[in-house]
Amino acid sequence: MSVTNSGDVSPIRAVLEVVVRALVDRPESVRVTETERRGMSVLELRTSPEDMGKIIGRQGRTAAALRTLVAVTAEKHGKRAQLDIKD
């Protein structure tokens, strides 16, 4: 398992950070870490507890949309990726 350096931001992580920061009230609290597991990028998203409802959305629709966005962006770059939302 390897962690992407903070100076070397992947396009998948960059897209996710921009979208999530636009959704939340406290964009400075958004943290995305990226690791490699079994040939797949795993992005872990953390934000303030107050903003977690906005990330999950009604019936999980926003979370599902974010996961789709990550998967499509990864596919565009010839990779596989998964989004884990941590509370």
In a domain, 1, yes or no: no
CATH of the domain at 16: 3.30.300.20
CA distance 3 to 7: 11
Using alpha carbons only, how large is the chain's radius of gyration in Å?
Answer: 12
In a domain, 31, yes or no: yes
Tens digit of each residue's pLDDT (9 = 90 or more) over 30-73: 999 999 999 999 999 999 999 999 999 999 999 999 999 999 99
Give the predicted TM-score (pTM) of the model. 0.87
Q: Is the pLDDT of residue 4 over 50?
A: no
In a domain, 46, yes or no: yes
CA pseudo-torsion sign 47, 50, 51, 53: positive
In a domain, 36, yes or no: yes
Q: What is the model's pLDDT at position 3?
A: 44
In a domain, 3, yes or no: no
Q: What is the model's pLDDT at position 81?
A: 97
In a domain, 64, yes or no: yes
Domain count, the chain: 1
